[in-house]
Amino acid sequence: MSALVPSSSLALFDDRVLADPYLSYGSLRRTGAAVRLEKYGVWAIPRHADVAEILKAPDIFGSEGGIALTVLANEKVLGGTVLAADGARHAKLRRVLSKQLAPRAIKALAERITARAERLVDQYTALGRFNALDLARHMVCDTVMELMGLPDADRDVLLSGAAATFDVFGPHGDRYQQALPLASRMVEMLHEKLTRENVAQESWMGAIFEAVDAGLIDEGDAVPLASAYTAAGIDTTVLGLADCLVQLARHPEQWQILRRDPIRWAVPAFHESLRLEAPIQGFGRLLIKAADVGGVRLDAGEQVWLLYGSAGRDPRQWGDKADAYDIRRPRNHQHLAFGGGPHLCAGIPLAELQVRSILRALAARCTHLTLDGEPVRVLNNLLRGYSAAALTVELSLHTSASGRTPEPRQQGPVL
Ligand code: HEM
């Protein structure tokens, strides 16, 4: 390999870097469009424009065998899933739940999700202090479990398993080893619970079995498909929602902008926090043929690591104030935290609906949102966010958006 190849000795998955990766991302962006990470044998892609281009070129940068950093995860965890399929097989798998996740279907859920958000926000804010992660987990798990058709008793297995799945996509190491059994337990639980006898016909799983019965997919595709949607839909939204609340609490002037016009600013506030703190910091792709990335030559069979978290901070795309949280930033929805191209996140309308409902319910009830101590960061090979974030709220004297004055409850889940 030529001495001019941009390379770095960065230990991207070490605790110290995971805790605060932004200086390292800045250094990678200055080093090149593609930077060889010596420690992992992959090419980091740190700039927005290159990540966006690669996502739109699935014939060159494939997902099969390239999403995770280990062969075991690519074959045993991701093999055959929608996330790791290319071409016609990807299109076939993606089609199965496309109707259920399309904007029109999600719009039909709006009343139910809004009512859930208002009920939870009343409950959590009643005592004036709550953990943003508890609220986010409650909201997102209730929604995904109900839609997928899973019983509530399995919530804990699902929560620990879904986060562990993302650790397993990283390199060999302690975090990876600890996560393997948790991720396997979730898949076993899904195999056990997601049977034709157990799931409602109108749930997502019901639709997956219908596709099997219609001969559109194989029986063996059913649970991996469900598992991908479940794992992809939980932690991402939990961390994204909680981070958005933390950002708004850190920036009181932004909270006041949102409060004055929540219908206009709730979704941009969410996108701005996704841009700044992508819940999935990176995913891989495998080169199907040789390619040039910003003047750097990459060979077939090599792997790139798309740094969504770095793309969101790239001053070439977002200007000098790329590190600032500004919900009125023009076109902030063009961030890459939802990926792009054919693998663009399938759950965007659902994630937006859940977060928008919580933000609007909070805006109708709380004049002030304040951080109560520093939030606790979660360290995961791929995910970025908090495991706990205590917030205090001042409740408005006026009635809530639902037209009711919130009733304080005794068992409000405080920290
Ligand atoms: C804030 C919330 C979310 C974030 C940040 C997020 C992020 C992402 C990203 C980055 C990808 C692209 C993967 C790649 O590059 O290969 C993706 C794909 C995907 N997401 Fe999401 N996601 C979120 C919510 C959801 C929800 C709520 C669901 C559904 C329940 C979901 C289901 C999926 C699925 C099925 C894929 C794979 C799509 C494909 O390969 O065609 N996501 N998501």
- Say if residues 336 and 55 touch (Cβ distance below 8 Å): yes
pLDDT the model gives residue 398 = 64
Summarize the confidence of residues 29-41 as an average pLDDT: 98
The residue whose CA has the least distance to atom 1 of ligand 1 is: 237
pLDDT for 3 equals 52
Angstrom distances, CA of residue 254 to CA of 58, 82, 122, 326: 38, 37, 22, 7
Show the ligand 1 pocket: residues with CB < 6 angstroms: 63, 82-83, 94, 228-229, 232-233, 236-237, 240, 274, 279-280, 283, 308, 337-339, 343, 345-347, 350-351
pLDDT at res. 79: 87
Q: At what angle do helices 262-276 and 348-365 cross, to 10 degrees?
A: 120
Question: Is the predicted pLDDT of residue 408 greater than 90, yes or no?
Answer: no
CB neighbours of residue 15 within 10 Å: 11
Q: Kindly indicate the confidence band of residue 410, based on its pLDDT and cuts at 50, 70 and 90.
A: very low
Specify the amino acid at residue 48. Answer: H
d(CA 386, CA 235) in angstroms, rounded, equals 11
Residues sharing a CB contact under 8 Å with residue 25, sequence separation 6 or more, in sequence order = 46, 307, 309, 310, 313
| Probe residue for ligand 1, chosen from 99, 205, 236 as the CB with the greatest number of ligand atoms within 8 Å | 236
Homologous superfamily (CATH) of 7-395 is Cytochrome P450 (1.10.630.10)
Q: Look at 44 and 198; give whichever has higher pLDDT.
A: 44
- Ranges of each domain in the chain: 7-395
> What digits encode the pLDDT tens for the residues 232-270?
899 999 999 999 999 999 999 999 999 999 999 999 999
Contact 335, 271 (CB under 8 A): yes
> CA-to-CA distance for 144 and 229, rounded, in angstroms?
9
**354 CA distance to ligand 1 middle (Å):** 15
Q: Which of 61, 276, 338 to mutate to test the pocket of ligand 1 (most atoms within 8 A of CB)?
A: 338
CA 154 remoteness from chain centre: 21
